[in-house]
Amino acid sequence: MKPITELFRPPLPDTNKTTLPWHDLPGLSASLAISLAAAHSPGPLLVVTENNEQVEQLRRELGFLCPGGKLPVLSFPDWETLPYDNFSAHQDITSDRLDTLYRLPDLDRGILVVSFTSLMHRLPPRHYITSNSLILECGQRFDIDTMRSTLAKAGYQAVEAVFEHGEFAVRGSIMDIFPMGSQLPYRIDLLGDEIETLRPFDPETQRSLGQVDEIRLLPGKEFPLNERGILQFRTRFRERFDVDTRNCPLYQDVSDGIASPGLEYYLALFFEELSSLVDFLPEQTRVIRLGRPDQAGDEFWNEIRTRHQDRQIDRYRPVLDPGEVFLSVSDVYQRLNRFPTVTIDNTTAAGSGQFGFRDLPDLTINARLQEPLARLADFIAAQADSRILLCAESAGRRETLLELFRTIDLQPKSIDSWQDFQAAGPDVYLSVAPLDRGFWLPAAGTILISEAQLFGGKIAQRRRRGKTSDNTEFVIKSLTELREGDAVVHVEHGVGRYRGLTTLTIDNQDTEFLLLEYAGESKLYVPVSSLHLVSRYTGADPDLAPLNRLGSDAWKKARRRAAEKIRDVAAELLEIYARREARKGFPYNCDEIGLDQFADSFPFEETDDQASAIKAVIDDMSSERAMDRLICGDVGFG
C-alpha cells in the first residue's frame, strides 16, 4: 500500500495573478491537503482563518500531520484583548508573537496559521526585531551591570527568581533569564568577565537541564523602552494630543521606562512607520484562505470603530485613530494579493470529487442500542482492505477506548505517529492525537477516525496551558508565593521567618542562600540546593507564628511528641481499615459507554480534580471494596 503522499498532491498556484480553489475537503482533509502542499511548496504557507478557534484547531491537526522539525507549524496569536484595552497580552503570548516575527523572514518551508483579525494589527518594523536581538555564546565577554541595563531597556523585568518569559535575576556572578521566544529559561555562569556555561533549567525546580553553546535574546516587548524609544514617544505624544502630560499616567509611565498596560495600542508613537505581518513573509510564500475571513474582518473593524468612540471620554488617556493602529480589510487584502492564493470553501456541492475524499458515516456510539459500537464495527468490517487510524485524545483515553473496543473483539495496533501510519499496511491502528475530525480517502485506502466522532461531540479535554502543580513542595521550590516576612518551617530547626535571598562567597564561589530569621533575631542561611528542607508554615495565623530559638531542643521535643501521636493515630487507623477491608461490598456494573455519552452531553468540562474524584468513586463502586469517601458538592462540570 502506497503512502498517501504519492496518491494525493494538492496543486498550488505559481503566480499572484492566480487564485486556485480547493473544494470538497470534509473534516480533517483540509488540514491534510495543507500539510501535503507545504511539503512541495517553494516557500512557506500562510493559512488565514476566520477566527482564533480555527487557528487552534489547525495547529493541533497540522502538528500531528506534519513531520517533526522538517515542516514547522507556527502561529501568530492574537493579543486576546479588546481594541484600545487598558490591558496588555500575557507574556507567553508576546513571546510567541516575537518568536514568529523573528523566524518568518528566513523561513524556507513551513506553515504559519493566523486569523484574519490578527493580520489587521499594525506591527513594529522588521528591523526592530533583528536590531534588538542578541546572541550570547560561551566564552563571550559579558558584563552583568551592562546586561542588566540592556535587558531593562529591552522590556525585561528584574525579579528574585525567574519563572516567566521576559524575566531575569542576578545573583553574584550568575544571571538567570527567560528569553522571549524560548521554551526554557537559561542560567548564565560567569568566570571572570566571560561566559563559562549556558544552561537551560526547569523554572519549577530551578534544576539545570544540560548545557548549550549559545542562546538567543529577543526584545521583551513589541516596542522599545530605551532612551531613543522613550524620546520618540514623548515627542509624538505631545504633537499628537492636546493633553496636560503632567496629569497623564500613561505619559509619565513611559517617561520612567515603565510599560504601561495597553501600551501596544500606541505603537505608532514609537516608530517612524509601522509594518504588518504580511511584510515579514518571504517572497516565495503561498497564501491559503479558509472560508470567508473577510466577514470576520468587517465585524472586527466595526468593533474597532465602536471601541475607539467609547474611549474618547478619557481625556488623560487619548487614543490613536483606528487607521494608525489597525489595517482595514481592504488594506490586508491589498498586501495579501501579492502572493499566489488558494481558497478553501466547502460550500461546493458534495460529490464534486476534486480530491476524492468522502464524508465518514455516522459512527457515534449509541448506548441505547443492544450493541452500542455496532456502527463502528460494521464500518471497519466493510473496509478490510484499508488502513484505519483511530485517534484517542490522550494516553488515558486510549486505555478507555481499548476497553470499549474489546467488547467488539477489536484490538487495534498501537502506533506513535502519522508518518508510521502512512508506512503501515491494511489494518486497524490506535494513536494519541487531540483531533476533533477525521477523513476518508478511498483511493488511498486510508481512514482516520477521531474519538470526538465516536462520542458525537467534542471530548471533555482540557486543552489549556499546563496546569500548575499544587503540592506544597513545588510552592517552596519555586518561591512563587513565598514573600519576604512569610513564616516557614525548616525540618531541623523549626519555625522561622523568610527574609529573602542573599549571596555569600564560600571558597571563592558565590552561592545563593535563603535567609531565615529565628527568635532573638538569630539567622540561618539555607543553600538553595537544600530547599527541600523548607516548607510553608500552615498554622492559623502566619503573622503571629511562634518562632523557634536556634540551638534549643524545643523543636526536637515537639517533633518527637508529634511522631508519637502520629504512631498512635496510625495504629488506630490501621485497625479501622483492616476491619473495613475484611468486609465485602456489593460491586455495581458500570456502563462506561453510557457514562461517556452522559458526560459528553454536559455544557462544561470537568476539572482535573473533578475527573479524579469521579474516577475514584467509579472504581470503588465497581469493586467489592466498601467505599469510604466524602465528596463535597461542587458546581461546574454537571
Residue 19, classed as helix, strand or coil, is strand
- Better-predicted residue by pLDDT, 464 or 122: 122
Average pLDDT over residues 401-416: 89
**What type of residue is 603?**
P
Backbone angles phi, psi at 326, to 5 degrees: -130, 160
Q: Are 200 and 184 in contact (CB under 8 A)?
A: yes
Average pLDDT over residues 418-423: 88
pLDDT at 305 over 90: yes
**What is the percent of the chain where pLDDT is above 90?**
44
pLDDT at 262 over 70: yes
Range scoring the smallest mean pLDDT among 109-118, 311-320, 380-389, 500-509: 500-509
pLDDT of residue 618: 85
pLDDT at 115 over 60: yes
Q: Are 222 and 94 in contact (CB under 8 A)?
A: yes
pLDDT of residue 116: 96
pLDDT of residue 351: 41
pLDDT of residue 10: 87
Whether the model pTM is above 0.85: no
Chain segment 395-405, per-residue pLDDT in tens: 878 888 888 88
pLDDT at 583 over 50: yes
pLDDT at 124 over 90: yes
Grid coordinates representing 427 are 489494518
> What region, left, alpha or beta, does residue 172 occupy, with left being phi > 0 and alpha being psi -120 to 50 degrees?
left
Chain segment 565-580, per-residue pLDDT in tens: 888 888 888 888 788 7
Q: How far apart are CA 475 and CA 532, in angstroms?
A: 11
Q: How far apart are CA 117 and CA 332, in angstroms?
A: 10
Bridge partners (DSSP) listed for residue 431: 391
- Label residues 73-90 b or e (16+ Cβ within 10 Å = b): bbbbbbbebebbbeebbb
Range scoring the smallest mean pLDDT among 164-178, 367-381, 598-612: 598-612
Grid coordinates representing 238 are 505631545
Residue 5, classed as helix, strand or coil, is helix
CA 559, 565, 567, 569 torsion: positive or negative?
negative
Q: Which uninterrupted H or E stretch holds 403?
A: helix 395-406
Mean pLDDT taken over the chain:
85
pLDDT of residue 290: 93
Beta strand pairing call for 186-191 and 446-450: unpaired
Bridge partners (DSSP) listed for residue 488: 496, 536
CB atoms within 10 A of CB 364: 15
Which of 219-228, 456-465, 567-576 has the highest mean predicted lDDT (pLDDT)? 219-228
Domains of the chain, each with CATH number or no CATH: 4-127+242-344 (3.40.50.11180), 134-217 (3.30.2060.10), 374-454 (3.40.50.11140), 472-552 (2.40.10.170)
Torsion of CA 561, 564, 570, 571, to 10 degrees: -150
Chain segment 424-438, per-residue pLDDT in tens: 889 999 999 988 889
Grid coordinates representing 276 are 504588518
Q: Are 95 and 31 in contact (CB under 8 A)?
A: no
pLDDT at 623 over 50: yes
> What region, left, alpha or beta, does residue 598 occupy, with left being phi > 0 and alpha being psi -120 to 50 degrees?
alpha
Q: How far apart are CA 460 and CA 448, in angstroms?
A: 20
Q: How confident is the model at residue 541 (pLDDT cuts 50, 70, 90)?
A: confident
Q: How confident is the model at residue 495 (pLDDT cuts 50, 70, 90)?
A: very high
**What is the percent of the chain where pLDDT is above 70?**
90
Q: How far apart are CA 356 and CA 625, in angstroms?
A: 55
Grid coordinates representing 204 are 519549577
CB atoms within 10 A of CB 544: 8
Count, residues in the chain:
638
Average pLDDT over residues 601-622: 78
pLDDT of residue 30: 92
Q: How far apart are CA 520 and CA 477, in angstroms?
A: 27
pLDDT at 384 over 80: yes
pLDDT of residue 342: 93
pLDDT at 11 over 90: no
Beta strand pairing call for 387-392 and 341-344: unpaired
- CB-based contacts of 10, cutoff 8 Å, min separation 6: 22, 33, 36, 37, 355
Q: How confident is the model at residue 107 (pLDDT cuts 50, 70, 90)?
A: very high
Q: Are 44 and 282 in contact (CB under 8 A)?
A: yes
pLDDT at 468 over 60: no
